[in-house]
Amino acid sequence: MGRVPPRLLLVEDDDHIRLPLRWALEDEGYDVAEAASGEDACAQVAAGPPDLMLVDLMLGAMDGFQVIREVRRSHDLPIVVVSARADTHDIVAALEAGADDYVTKPFQVKEVTARLRALRRRAGAGDRPTELVLDPDPAAPLVLRPERGTVHRGEELLPLTLTEFRLLCELAASAGRVLSRQVLLERVWEHGFFGDERLVDVHVRRLRTKVERDPGAPTLVVTVRGLGYRLDPQ
């Protein structure tokens, strides 16, 4: 029996873009479902989540930002944004909403599929069989279990996305050492200089809201001005 192809939900309201992109993705081995609206996309995810999503931002009544936020309420599947909106505000807003990566239009299909493959590799990659106590707070210790793909604050399972989890693992593996944004791009996003350092900054901010005792005054994931980020176990 052959390998089951990964299921991808393509969310794009422009037929002239959606159909050729679907055919190209199917040629790359994806089982592609289409959604021409944000409402349809959310309904399909609710009925059965795909393995990953490709989402345009400009969709009409329910835009891509809303779709991403809605999906993130209950799923941590990889999400890549494709959009003609290349303004920094829009890019950061998409990442803040929960996107893992973005590609601006016009784009080459091979660039999109390279991003998707990187996300799939991260989703299936094995991690170090260890348990790391990042914050030994007696009331609610912060515990990272890479082999299980979980982070707990006391009894609470923290809802990290795949990218946030991988980012925390990379920082924890180099605890006490500064990792530059470029190094984190290469290790977490796997497309090196093709990436944008804003990806790192936004995901660090999102990670802090979930793992820090006080996200406004972080003591675990700290910024080293001009160099990058460092994880300081408490």
Q: What is the pLDDT of residues 41-55, one digit of tens each?
A: 999 999 999 999 999
User: Which DSSP category does 182 fall into?
Assistant: H
Mean pLDDT of the chain: 86
Is 0.85 topped by the overall pTM? no
Same domain? 99 vs 33? yes
Same domain? 29 vs 70? yes
Please give the Cα distance from 78 to 163 (Å, whole number): 8
Containing structural domain, residue 37:
7-124
214 within domain boundaries: yes
Which residues are CB-neighbours of 226 under 8 A, at least 6 positions away? none
Which of 80-89, 94-103, 121-130, 207-216 has the highest average model confidence (pLDDT)? 207-216
65 within domain boundaries: yes
pLDDT for position 130: 66
Same domain? 117 vs 140? no
pLDDT for position 86: 78
Same domain? 154 vs 117? no
- Look at the block and give the residue holding tokens 């660090």: 204
Please give the Cα distance from 103 to 86 (Å, whole number): 9
Helix (H, G, I), strand (E, B) or coil at 155: coil
Same domain? 111 vs 21? yes
Same domain? 103 vs 187? no
Same domain? 153 vs 204? yes
Please give the Cα distance from 65 to 98 (Å, whole number): 9
Domain end position, chosen among 94, 124, 154: 124
Same domain? 211 vs 227? yes
